[in-house]
Structure 1
Amino acid sequence: MTHPSAFAKLHQPGNPFILANAWDIGSARMLEAMGAQAVATSSAALAFVKGVGDLGEISRDDALSHADELNSAVAVPLNGDFENGFGPTLEDVVQTIQASGKIGIAGCGIEDMDLPTAEPYGFEQAVERIEAAAEAAKALPYDFVLTARADGVMHGKYSLDEAIRRLQAFRKAGAGVLFAPMPGTMDDVARICREVDGPVNAICAGPFTQNTVKDYANAGVARISLGSSLARVTHRAIHDAANAMFNNGEFSLLGKSISGAEIEKLTKR
C-alpha cells in the first residue's frame, strides 16, 4: 500500500480528486485499477453488505476490520468512514483514531451525529469531539488526515449557516478536511468552500450526480467522495435483473455484464 501520508497531498482546493468508496476487496481493486487515486470505505455500503441499517448498526470492530482488509488489498491510500467515532464520548473518538493508526489507514471521517438517532450533538460537544480526534491524530507517527463532518444539514436538523459555523470551528480544532454532505445545491458547496479555511470534501450523490468534476473544481472543492452511490448502482443492477427474472421470466439484463476475464484482470493481484 502507498504510505498513508501521501493522502494529504492529494487535497488541492479547485483541483479535486475522486475518493472512490468501495465495499469489498474486489470493488476496491477494480476502482484502483480503473484510476482511483484513493479508496474509502462507506458505512452505508458496508451496512448493505452486512444486511443491517446505516444508523449506528456497524460496530467499531467491524468497520476497522473492513478498512484493514481493503487497505491491505490496494496500493493507494485508504480513508475510513467511521461515522461518529462509534460512541458519544471523547474517549470513544480517541480510541477510533488510535485504532485507525494501528492499522495504518490514511485518514478517516468523524461526523457530528448522536447515532443511532438522527440528532446532532450540540455545538460545543461536536467541537470538543473533533479537538480530541485531532489531538489523537497528531500523536500518530504519520500525517493522518482527519475529516470533520457537519451532517446535520443533510438530515434537516440545522441550517447551512450552522453547518459552516461548525466546519469553521472544526478547522480551528485541528481537522484536516471539512465536509457537510448534501447541502442542497452546487452554489451551497461553493459557499462552503469560500467560507471555510481548509480543503473541502463534497459528496457526489442524488442531484449532484448531474454535475461534473469541472463543476466541483469551479466550486473550490478539494475532494469528491461517492458515499454509497456506486454501491447503490450495483444494488440497482441486482434489483432490476432479479425483478426481470422473478416477475417477468426474462434474463436479458444478465447479458449486460462484462466478462469474468475482464473482472479478473482488474481485481486479481
Structure 2
Amino acid sequence: MSMGQQFRALHDKGGAFILANAWDIGSARMLAAMGAEAIATSSAAHAFTLGQPDGTVTRDQALAHAAEIVAAVNVPVQGDFENGNSDTPEGTAETVRMAAQVGLAGICIEDVPFGGDTVYGFDLAVAKIRAAAAAARALPHDFILTARADGIMIGAYDITEALRRLQAFAAAGADCLYAPLPATMDDLARIVAETDKPVNALVAGPYATQSRADFAAIGVTRLSLGSSLARATHRTIHDAAKAMFDAGDFNPLGNGMNGSIVDALLTKE
C-alpha cells in the first residue's frame, strides 16, 4: 500500500485521527514514535526554524523541508504549501506535482494569497482547487488534496461563504475540506453536516479546550495542529529566557526531558 493509500485509509476509517504537524526531523520522529499515524508540515512552524515570519517560505524551501520530513518517518506526510505557492491554477497544479515528487502523501491549498490579509475571489479559488485536483488525479499513485477556506480564520468572510466555498471545492475534486477556526463548535458541526467530504479541524486557540472525543462526536474526520505545538515549544523558550535574563532564574530549565528518553524516541524504528 502506498503512503497515499495509507493516508486515504485514515480518512475513511472515521473517528477524528490526529494529523500531527512537525517542524523538523527531530519533532517528526518524536511524534511518529509516540503514535502519530500521519505527519504534516506547517508553513508557520517551518518559517520559525528559518528565522522568517509565516508567509515568506518559498516553494523550493517548502519542498526541501517536506522531503526531509518524508525521509525521516515511516508514516504518510502531508505538505503545507499555503496558497499552492501560486496565484494561478496552473502554478497551483505544478506545486501539486512537485509535492508528489518529493514523496508527500497529500497537500493542503488555501484560498488566501501570500500576505494573509485578503482572499482570492470565489471563481479563482475554485479554479485553483480544480486544477490541483486534476493534477492529483493524474499522478500514478494516490494523493490527498485538502482544500482550505482560510478566509473564515482571518475574518474575510463568514460561515455562509465558507460553506459555499467548501462545497464548491468538494465539487471541484478536493478530498478533504478545512475551514480553520470557525467561530463555534456549532459552526464546525454545520460544516461537517453540510458537506460530503472528510472535514479537518484545527486544534488551536479555543478549540484546544475540546477533546478528541468532542470532535469525533460531531463527525470531524481529521485533527491537525497547525503551528500550535511549535508555538508551545516557543512559549517554553520564551518563558525560560525571560526568567533567566530578567531575574537570573534558571528553574524552568529543570523541567526538560531526560536526554535518554529523547534519544530513544528519535531512534525508534
TM-score, normalised via structure 2 length? 0.97
Q: Distance in 2 between matches of 1:105 and 1:59?
A: 17
Q: Secondary structure at the match of 2:151?
A: coil
How big is each residue's C-alpha offset from its partner over 1:188-220, in whole Å with a ceiling of 9 and x where there is no partner?
Answer: 110100001110000000000000000000111
Q: Is residue 18 of structure 1 aligned with residue 18 of structure 2?
A: yes
Q: Secondary structure at the match of 1:10?
A: helix
Q: Is residue 130 of structure 1 aligned with residue 129 of structure 2?
A: yes
**Alignment correspondent of 2:41:** 41
- The answer on whether the counterparts of 1:13 and 1:221 sit within 8 Å (CA) in structure 2 is no
Q: Distance in 2 between matches of 1:13 and 1:232?
A: 30
Q: Distance in 1 between matches of 2:36 and 2:138?
A: 28
Q: Distance in 1 between matches of 2:51 and 2:195?
A: 37
**Alignment correspondent of 1:158:** 157
- The answer on whether the counterparts of 1:2 and 1:76 sit within 8 Å (CA) in structure 2 is no
**Alignment correspondent of 1:195:** 194
Q: Distance in 2 between matches of 1:173 and 1:53?
A: 31
**Alignment correspondent of 2:54:** 54
> By how many angstroms is 1:114 displaced?
1.9
- The answer on whether the counterparts of 1:13 and 1:200 sit within 8 Å (CA) in structure 2 is no
**Alignment correspondent of 1:229:** 228
Aligned residues: 268
Aligned pairs for 1:179-258 within 5 A: 179-258=178-257
Structure 1 residues 13 and 121, CA gap change in structure 2 (3 angstroms): farther
Q: Distance in 1 between matches of 2:240 and 2:82?
A: 32
- The answer on whether the counterparts of 1:182 and 1:203 sit within 8 Å (CA) in structure 2 is yes
How big is each residue's C-alpha offset from its partner over 1:97-154, in whole Å with a ceiling of 9 and x where there is no partner?
Answer: 0101111210010000122241110001100000000000001111100000000010
> By how many angstroms is 1:14 displaced?
4.9
- The answer on whether the counterparts of 1:2 and 1:75 sit within 8 Å (CA) in structure 2 is no
> By how many angstroms is 1:12 displaced?
3.8
Gaps of 5+ in 1: none
Quick check: 111-120 or 97-106, which moved more?
Answer: 111-120
Q: Distance in 2 between matches of 1:38 and 1:2?
A: 13
**Alignment correspondent of 1:64:** 63
**Alignment correspondent of 2:105:** 106
Q: Distance in 2 between matches of 1:177 and 1:127?
A: 14
How big is each residue's C-alpha offset from its partner over 1:54-83, in whole Å with a ceiling of 9 and x where there is no partner?
Answer: 12x100000011011000000000000110
Q: Secondary structure at the match of 1:178?
A: strand
Gaps of 5+ in 2: none
> By how many angstroms is 1:5 displaced?
1.8
How big is each residue's C-alpha offset from its partner over 1:151-193, in whole Å with a ceiling of 9 and x where there is no partner?
Answer: 0010000111000000000000000000000111111110100
- The answer on whether the counterparts of 1:13 and 1:220 sit within 8 Å (CA) in structure 2 is no
- The answer on whether the counterparts of 1:89 and 1:129 sit within 8 Å (CA) in structure 2 is yes
Structure 1 residues 40 and 117, CA gap change in structure 2 (3 angstroms): closer
Q: Distance in 2 between matches of 1:184 and 1:150?
A: 13
- The answer on whether the counterparts of 2:2 and 2:141 sit within 8 Å (CA) in structure 1 is no
Q: Which portions of structure 1, spanning 4 or more consecutive aligned residues, are displaced by more than 4 angstroms? A: none
Aligned pairs for 1:72-87 within 5 A: 72-87=71-86
How big is each residue's C-alpha offset from its partner over 1:235-268, in whole Å with a ceiling of 9 and x where there is no partner?
Answer: 0000011111111101111110111111000012
Q: Secondary structure at the match of 2:150?
A: coil
Q: Secondary structure at the match of 1:175?
A: coil
